[in-house]
Homo-oligomer: A and B are copies of this chain.
Amino acid sequence: MAGRLKLGMVGGGQGAFIGAVHRIAARLDDCFEVVAGALSSDPQRAQASAAEANLARSYADWREMARAESARDDGIDAVAIVTPNHLHAPVATAFLEAGIHVICDKPLAVSLAEGDALARLAREKRRLFALTHTYSGYPMVRHARELIEAGELGDLRVVQVEYAQDWLAEPIEQSGTNKQAVWRTDPKLSGPAGCLGDIGTHAYHLAGFITGMLPAALAADVHTFVPGRRLDDHVQAMLRYANGARGMLWASQVASGAENALRLRVYGTKAGIAFDQEEPNELWFTPLGGAAQRLTRGRVQGAAAAHATRVPPGHPEGYLEAFAQLYKDAALQIEALDAGRPLPPESRFLTTVDDGVAGLRFIDAMLASSAAGGQWREI
C-alpha cells in the first residue's frame, strides 16, 4: 500500500475500552495514522484524551469534526465510530454525508430502520462502511470459511455457536463505576438488546460468516437473570436453515467462570470443524470417523489465512491482530474506492453494512420470538 491513511475517531476517550483497541488495530499494520478525534462528549475529557493518544487535532463535537475534516486538504480519510450504540447511526450519517469512509463498532444501530437507512446512504455515497465484527479477522476463522466454500465439510447439517462471559453475573451496573456496564445495560444507550446486541450478534455473525448461510427461522428465549437489570443478559435460540440444517445459539453474560468464550462448531456430511476464540491460532477439523486435526495459522494452505497472518506458526497472534486485519482490509478497500478501482479480492472478508443489517434483523427476530413465547419466527 502507498503510505498511511488518515483516521479520525468518535468516542473512545479515557476510561473507554474499545477506543484504545481501535487505535492499536489501526496502527498495527501501518495502514492508518490516527490524527483527529472527538473522543468524548465532555470537552475537557476529549482534549485530555486526544493529547494522551497523540492526536494532532481534537474536536469537542463530532458534527464539527465531520465538517472541519472534510474541508481540510489533509483531512481524515475515514472515521472510526466507537461510541455507545445509540450514536452509531447519527455519527455515521454525518460522516458519510461529509464523504468520509466509516468504520463502525457493532451492532450497527439501535433499530432495523436506522440500519437500513445507513446501508442505503453508504451505497449512495459510494463510501466504505465497515463493521468491526472482530472475530472474522482471525486467520483460522477465514480458513474455516474457505474450507466450507471448498466443500471440505460436505453438506452442512448442524451449527452450534455460543458466546459466554461472566462479567455481568452480578448487578455491577448499579454502582455506576463501571462505565461499560452502565451503558450496556441502559436501553437508551444500547437499544433494546443487551447481551443479545453486545455478544449475541457476534455469535450470529461468526456462524453466518463461516458457514456462508443465515438461518431462515429461529425460536428464542431472551432472558434477564440479574434482578433490576433493564436489558437481557442471557439469550438462547434454536435455528433452522433453508437447506434443512439445524442450529443452536446461546449467549450469556452471567456464565460464571467464562471469560470470552465464543465458540463455533459446524458439522457437515463429510467432516466437522470447531473454533474457539480463546485459542484463535488453531482450527479443529475432523473427518467423519477420522482423527481430529489441529490446523494452525501458517501451516495450512490457503490464501485467506495467509493474507491475515503476520508471523510464523507457533508465534501466537491474537485479538488485536484480528482487529488490525479489519483495518488492513478497510485500507485496501478505501484505496480502491478512492481510485475507482474494484475492491481487491483478498479484502473480500471485510464485514459490510449489510452484515450489520442482518444482525439487526436477527435482534428483531429474537425479541419477537421470545415475546411470543418462543414461537418460530422467520428472519
CB pair A319–B316 under 8 Å, yes or no, is yes
Q: Which of B256, B310, B314, B315 contacts A268 (CB 8 A)?
A: B256
Q: How far is the CB of A195 from chain B (nearest CB, A)?
A: 12
Per the bound structure, the CA–CA distance linking A320 and B27 in Å amounts to 13
Q: How far is the CB of A321 from chain B (nearest CB, A)?
A: 7
Question: Is the C-beta of A23 less than 8 angstroms from some C-beta in chain B?
Answer: yes
Interface residues of A in 240-264 (CB under 8 A from B): 240, 244, 246, 248, 250, 252, 254-261
**Partner pick for A238 among B24, B221, B310, B311, CB 8 A cutoff:** B221
Taking a contact as CB atoms under 8 Å apart, the answer to whether B272 and A21 are in contact is no
A169 → B minimal CB distance (Å): 5
Is there contact, CB below 8 Å, between B294 and A291? yes
On whether the beta carbons of B260 and A225 are closer than 8 Å, the reply is: no
Contact of B281 with A278 in the complex, beta carbons under 8 Å: yes
Query: Given that A221-B246, A238-B219 are contacting pairs, would A320 and B310 also be in contact in the complex, using a CB cutoff of 8 Å?
Result: yes
Stretch binding the partner chain, chosen from A100-108, A111-119, A208-216, A295-303: A295-303
Contact flags A278-311 to B (C-beta < 8 A → 1, else 0): 1111000111111111111011100000000011
Q: How large is the interface on A (under 10, 10 to 19, 20 to 34, 35 or more residues)?
A: 35 or more
Q: A299 to B259, Cβ gap below 8 A?
A: yes
Supposing A30-B27, A292-B293, A319-B317 touch, asked if A272 and B246 sit within 8 A by C-beta, the answer is no
Contact A23 B30 (CB under 8 A): yes
Q: Is A174 an interface residue (CB 8 A)?
A: no
In the complex, the answer to whether A252 meets B158 with C-beta atoms within 8 Å is yes
CA distance A314 to B250 in the complex (A): 17
Is the CB–CB distance between A271 and B291 below 8 Å?
Answer: no
Please tell me if A234 contacts chain B, counting CB pairs below 8 Å.
yes
Q: Measuring CB to CB, which residues of chain A are less than 8 angstroms from any residue of chain B?
A: 3-4, 17, 20-21, 23-24, 27-30, 53-54, 153-154, 157-158, 160, 162, 164-167, 169-170, 219, 221, 223, 225, 234, 236-238, 240, 244, 246, 248, 250, 252, 254-261, 267-272, 277-281, 285-296, 298-300, 310-321, 373-376
